[in-house]
């Protein structure tokens, strides 16, 4: 799964990459984004490319547990079959702006966080889906990150990873009306992904500064 990530890119760079876009909102840098936080996304609406901030998590009412539950990831393998995701994947794809994500590896019965990113924390995008929900009598747009099976280089850390893509792949994804990404095995930038251990300060989402990105020795 993907439960934490970083997004530290300046708005100006995003605008240069997507010159025909309109910026509605853009959140400040964040080094430790957690579920229910605001995230920067790119999506199309009425044939216009928009940059905005949405809430990270879908919600649904579980009749079995009689409680509202939240989902932050959607598996690419089953996204087109799940009632919660199918319409969003068909009609409302989006890109989540990121620079890397955190994953935890079990080492000697201790969970050690790793930062997975392109060297120097260069810009990348997660494939996502979005929809409108009503929470506490307020309309809000929410987003869910699409995940896939981790590649060989990363599977020893965790068996899942976000659907990662480059700028050009992201544009293709937004216009993927035939859902070809369901059958795409690998992004052109996956081989560039690197990883290193970071401090356990990232375990607490209240810790949100550059120290979260620093490599540590094990």
3-class secondary-structure state, position 209: coil
Asked if the structure places residue 218 within a domain, the reply is no
Let me know: does 152 contact 78? Beta carbons within 8 Å.
no
Asked if the structure places residue 157 within a domain, the reply is yes
Asked if the structure places residue 167 within a domain, the reply is yes
Q: Tell me the per-residue pLDDT of 4-60, one tens digit each, with 9 for 90 and over.
A: 999 999 999 999 999 999 999 999 999 999 999 999 999 999 999 999 999 999 998
Let me know: does 101 contact 6? Beta carbons within 8 Å.
yes
Q: Tell me the per-residue pLDDT of 96-108, one tens digit each, with 9 for 90 and over.
A: 999 999 999 999 9
Residue 75's closest CA among 148, 3, 144? 148
Asked if the structure places residue 37 within a domain, the reply is yes
Tally of domains in the chain: 1
Q: Is the pTM of this model over 0.75?
A: yes
Asked if the structure places residue 23 within a domain, the reply is yes
3-class secondary-structure state, position 151: coil
Asked if the structure places residue 160 within a domain, the reply is yes
Instruction: Point out which residues pair with 160 in neighbouring strands.
Output: 149
CATH of the domain at 56: 3.90.1680.10
Let me know: does 115 contact 105? Beta carbons within 8 Å.
no
3-class secondary-structure state, position 15: helix
- Domain span holding position 72: 4-213
């Amino acid at each position: 799964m993907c439960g934490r990530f970083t997004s530290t890119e300046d708005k100006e760079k995003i605008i240069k990459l997507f010159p025909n876009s309109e910026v509605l909102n853009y959140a400040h840098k964040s080094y430790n984004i957690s579920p229910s936080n605001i995230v920067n996304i790119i999506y199309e609406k009425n044939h216009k490319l928009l940059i905005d901030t949405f809430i990270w998590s879908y919600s649904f009412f579980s009749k079995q547990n009689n409680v509202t539950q939240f989902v932050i990831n959607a598996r690419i393998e089953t996204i087109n079959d799940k009632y919660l995701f199918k319409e969003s994947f068909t009609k409302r794809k989006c890109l989540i702006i990121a620079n890397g994500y955190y994953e935890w590896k079990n080492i000697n019965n201790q969970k050690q966080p790793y930062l997975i990113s392109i060297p120097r924390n260069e810009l990348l995008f997660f494939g996502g889906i979005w929809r409108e929900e009503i929470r506490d009598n307020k309309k809000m747009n929410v987003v869910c990150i699409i995940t896939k099976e981790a590649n060989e280089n990363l599977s020893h850390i965790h068996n899942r990873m976000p659907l990662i893509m480059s700028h050009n792949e992201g544009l293709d994804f937004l216009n993927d009306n035939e859902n070809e990404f369901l059958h795409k095995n690998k992004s052109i930038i996956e081989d560039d992904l690197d990883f290193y251990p970071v401090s356990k300060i990232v375990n607490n989402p209240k810790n949100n500064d550059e120290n979260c990105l620093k490599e540590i020795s094990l």
